[in-house]
Amino acid sequence: MSSRDIIESYALEIVSRARSIQKRCENLSAGYYASEAPKDLAKTIEYICYNLSKAVITIFNTTPFEGGDDNLDSPYLLNLTDRLIQILGQDVRYIEAAKIENLPWSIIPSFQNLARSLFPNFQIMIRPEWEYNYSVDLSDLRTTYQNYLTEFSDYLPNDFDKEISSLLKNPFFLITFPSLEKKNILLHPLLGHELGHLFADKYLNKDRKDKFANDINDIIEVITEKQLKDAPLPEGDLFRAPFKTHNMELALNFWVRGLEELLSDIVGAILFGPAAIFACLELAIQQGIDIMPSENNSFYPPWRMRIREVLKIIDNYGEGYFPLRNSNFSPTQRDKINKRYENIKQFTGTKKDIDLLTENPIRKIAYEHVATHIETGVNFLLNDCKLKDHLIKATVLYKNLPHLIERLVNDIPPNAIENSIEERENASLVEIINSSWFYKISWADVVFNQDGNFVEETYSKRNRVNNLTLKAIEYAELAKEYDEESK
């Protein structure tokens, strides 16, 4: 068999892979989803694979084969096509994960509306993943695909880019949540944090990064010289410059990752109020309060610091969230919620995290600069990004919360404020989630009895609250759509 025959067989396999993915996406695009985003992505990948399968034939037929039958070097473009098709095949898992049965689907329309109000020109798709983490991919899939395909411009239809833009009309971003927490609605205010990354990314522009590097240049020089003082290295920049470059990159990682996580947490607090801080605390307890940022944990800032900054937003901009004094709440509810708030205030008042951060000189200088940017960053979020319009005040949130909590007490979804048949008002996503958090915190139940045994009823109650809350979000969204269509 000649080298041409072998490569022809390889080209056939590429076409087969492309058409297999095309068929999978064709079937997926006919499915049911909680939003249009998975369908749009499926149709886009289907269209790309269809055209790549045709391009492979043209590429093979126009490829010169030189070097005789012993030359089995695969042509560059065939290799590139195969790799791109493999990447697209991997991306199909995003669509499969976004099926209704894999999502807390009732929250998706409400969350999509929230995302659309913040980013009217973006398309955002939510999917679960096995890794236990909430995350956002800041790479716009539409741009990524277009960049991949630039090499194939001579082999694709003239209107290819136009067709891609009609399938994915806007920049396309993926937000993920841990599949294990599918029904744990009380943890999902952390999705607001992931939206926050899109704002934090705008804040951390090239000019700010360059200014930070310039501001710390001299002190990084001093730190590097101190580290190398006793190192057996020859004099001169040839040997010492790489150490300084490494330290500068390390400082930049500490600074960027610290700021983007803290600013994203602040966005979550702006969007979801007290529920954001309670959700942050629940995740922090699972992961550790004072774990220091490092390469091993993707440079995440310590949770104590993160919750401290969220608490500042609640205290400084919430206009009276805590301590809870509203007489419409029961005494038990007020006492339990105020106690939770005091506990959070107490442990964030301890500066153990800051002391630990200063143990490393590069980490120390980076976080000193993080601290100087927080106030500027908050102003950027509230004013430049217009998040002030989404900031919910205590007087507004607490007006309806006792009524919604009472519905939960009576096993009724907290989807509306109904004082009478004639007087009815839909509850918002933020009101529903906060009412469920306040209700959970105010439980008089215990998790373990005096004998140390697990109380099954408490576990069942937690599930019941999650189900009622998810159902409430669904009902509220349906009622909102009905009201809009009836106008």
Q: Which two tokens stand for residue 98?
A: 């976004």
Q: What letters, b where the CB count within 10 A reaches 16 and e where it falls short, cover 190-222? A: bbbbbbbbbbbeebbeeebeeebeeebeebbee
**66 — pLDDT class (breaks 50, 70, 90):** low
CA-based end-to-end distance of the chain: 72
Q: Which residues have C-beta within 8 Å of that of residue 369, sequence separation ≥ 6?
A: 212, 215, 216, 255
Pick left, alpha or beta for residue 170 (phi over 0 → left; psi -120 to 50 → alpha; otherwise beta). beta
Nearest in space to 98 (alpha carbons), one of 168, 28, 158: 28
Phi, psi of 359 (to 5 degrees): -70, -20
The span from the CA of 199 to the CA of 126, in Å, is 18
- Mean pLDDT for 363-387 is 96
Of residues 13 and 234, the one with the higher pLDDT is: 13
Question: Above 70 in pLDDT, residue 444?
Answer: no
Answer whether 397's CB lies under 8 Å from 431's CB: yes
DSSP SS3 for 264: helix
Most confidently predicted of 62-71, 153-162, 427-436: 427-436
| Mean of pLDDT over the chain | 90
**From the centroid of its chain, how far is CA 300?**
14
Question: Above 60 in pLDDT, residue 383?
Answer: yes
Tens digits of per-residue pLDDT, 326-336? 888 999 899 99
**From the centroid of its chain, how far is CA 210?**
26
Answer whether 195's CB lies under 8 Å from 118's CB: yes
Phi, psi of 134 (to 5 degrees): -95, 135
Question: Above 70 in pLDDT, residue 7?
Answer: yes
Angle, helices 141-148 vs 37-61, to 10°: value is: 0
Q: So what's the pLDDT on residue 244? A: 87
Question: Above 70 in pLDDT, residue 51?
Answer: yes
Count of CA atoms in the C-beta half-sphere (13 A) of 191: 29
The span from the CA of 244 to the CA of 263, in Å, is 28
The span from the CA of 271 to the CA of 189, in Å, is 8
Q: Which residues have C-beta within 8 Å of that of residue 415, sequence separation ≥ 6?
A: 426, 427, 432, 471, 472, 473, 474, 475, 476, 479
Cross-strand bridge partners of residue 136: 175
DSSP SS3 for 300: coil
Helix (H) or strand (E) holding 119: none
Q: Which residues have C-beta within 8 Å of that of residue 340, sequence separation ≥ 6?
A: 278, 441
Tens digits of per-residue pLDDT, 155-190? 999 889 899 999 999 999 999 999 999 989 999 999
